[in-house]
Amino acid sequence: MTPGLQRRLEQAVERFEEIERLLAEPELADDPRRFTALSREYSDLQGIVDTWRDIERLDARESDAREMAEENDADMRKMANEELAEIETERERLDLQLQRLIVPPDPNDRKNLFLEIRAGTGGQEAALFAGDLYRMYARYAESQGWRVEMLSGQHGDAGGWRELIARVIGAGAFSKLKFESGTHRVQRVPATESQGRIHTSACTVAILPEVDEVDEVKVDPNELRIDTFRSSGAGGQHVNTTDSAIRITHLPSGIVVECQDERSQHKNKARAMSLLSARLLEAERSQQQSEQAADRKLQVGSGDRSERIRTYNFPQGRVTDHRIGLTLYDLDNILEGALDELIDPLTEAHQADLLAELG
């Protein structure tokens, strides 16, 4: 184990024991929010501590087995060597488990998220592809037991979406989808192409964690312009007869958000403010990350075809994630929401990067 990982492990054990003492204090019952936060942190650290204690018990078994291996009795030596082989296999498993657990957790992983998809290069074909991407994420959300709420959207002239914003509600939603941010490129023959030529189009996807009260961005009301308008109904579900839709412009940054999903102007304003806070917080984080690291995997580009994180090639039935060099010939299932075969390798690569930094 590297010195960096050893330090991280020692800090985790110390913090676990500290939280254990804090949770036993009677006055904590008077502060439900702090109790919930400490309970979550305790749960996060418990796997690390339990695995480390398993490794310590394994060390004791190994010590006993090595003493047996020095006995004169041949049968005892044979049993000891078999025991040592089992211990080695178990240690490898526990070491890998510990390395996965010891990676610092992303504080946003439990949060709901805002999903934004915008058609980029490619005109009508890009809008159709944006519709395909939204359907893919909606199917994946359904398979995870999450709920998807459309907040606003603008249909393409030939179908699909020029742009849309949805809210995804469910445990672990952000942890699963956070690496989807970026430019997605599609290569296929459009329905309008008479000569069978393959066209390349692109869409941008942004995944923003929903802002909690504790990290909510301070927004000066004097820096906002709030407009109301009549909703046409996101996705065409209904048409309002009152000006219940809300558009909020943050004047210093130029960020514009809108929500027209609810019939209530009050609810639409609350949703739009939540989205604005998420956008502002993400902009702040992006600036910090850009200053700290040149290689930011979650950065969203301009929508140009060359700035892609993933390519969906229809003629070959192929999906390629360019960040980790992963190619899968399972396009149909992926577009139906079978995203774990892409998400899991991305998560593992990210954990490996974090482990390398800790080391």
Structure tokens at 46: 């418990």
What are the start and end residues of each CATH 1.20.58 domain in the chain?
A: 3-102
Q: What's the half-sphere exposure (Cβ side, CA atoms, 13 Å) at 28?
A: 14
Q: Which residues contact 188 (CB under 8 A, 6 or more apart)?
A: 125, 198, 199, 312, 313, 314, 315
Give 27: exposed, middle or buried? Use CB within 10 Å, 0-12, 13-18, 19+: exposed
Which CATH number is 3-102 given?
1.20.58
Residue 251 is classified by DSSP as T
Contacts 24+ apart (CB under 8 A), 72-80: none
Class of domain 219-289: alpha beta
CATH among 3.40.50.720, 3.40.50.300, 3.90.70.10, 3.30.70.1660 for 113-214+301-355:
3.30.70.1660
Contact 87, 338 (CB under 8 A): no
Q: How many CB atoms lie within 10 A of CB 173?
A: 26
pLDDT in tens, 115-160: 999 999 888 999 999 999 999 999 999 999 999 999 888 999 989 9
- The stretches of the chain forming alpha helices (DSSP H) are 3-23, 32-69, 74-102, 124-144, 173-177, 265-292, 331-335, 340-358
The span from the CA of 62 to the CA of 324, in Å, is 38
The span from the CA of 348 to the CA of 272, in Å, is 34
Structure tokens at 158: 């030939």
CA end-to-end span of the chain = 8
Q: 26: which strand partners?
A: none
CA 12 vs. chain centroid, Å, equals 24
| Res 289: pLDDT | 56
The span from the CA of 350 to the CA of 302, in Å, is 24
| Res 329: pLDDT | 97
Sign of CA dihedral 318, 320, 325, 330: negative
Give 189: exposed, middle or buried? Use CB within 10 Å, 0-12, 13-18, 19+: middle
List the pLDDT tens digit at each of the 359 positions of the chain: 667 677 878 888 899 999 999 999 999 888 988 999 999 889 889 999 999 899 989 999 999 999 988 888 888 889 999 999 999 999 989 988 887 788 777 888 888 999 999 999 888 999 999 999 999 999 999 999 999 999 888 999 989 999 999 999 998 899 999 999 999 999 999 876 777 889 999 999 999 988 765 455 678 888 889 888 876 654 444 444 567 788 899 988 888 888 887 667 888 888 888 888 888 887 877 765 555 444 334 444 444 444 689 999 999 999 999 999 999 999 999 999 999 999 999 988 888 888 777 66
With CA atoms as reference, report the closest residue to 312 among 297, 298, 295, 327: 327
Q: How many CB atoms lie within 10 A of CB 11?
A: 12
Beta strand pairing call for 318-321 and 310-313: antiparallel
| Res 178: pLDDT | 94
| Res 1: pLDDT | 63
What are the start and end residues of each CATH 3.30.160.20 domain in the chain?
A: 219-289
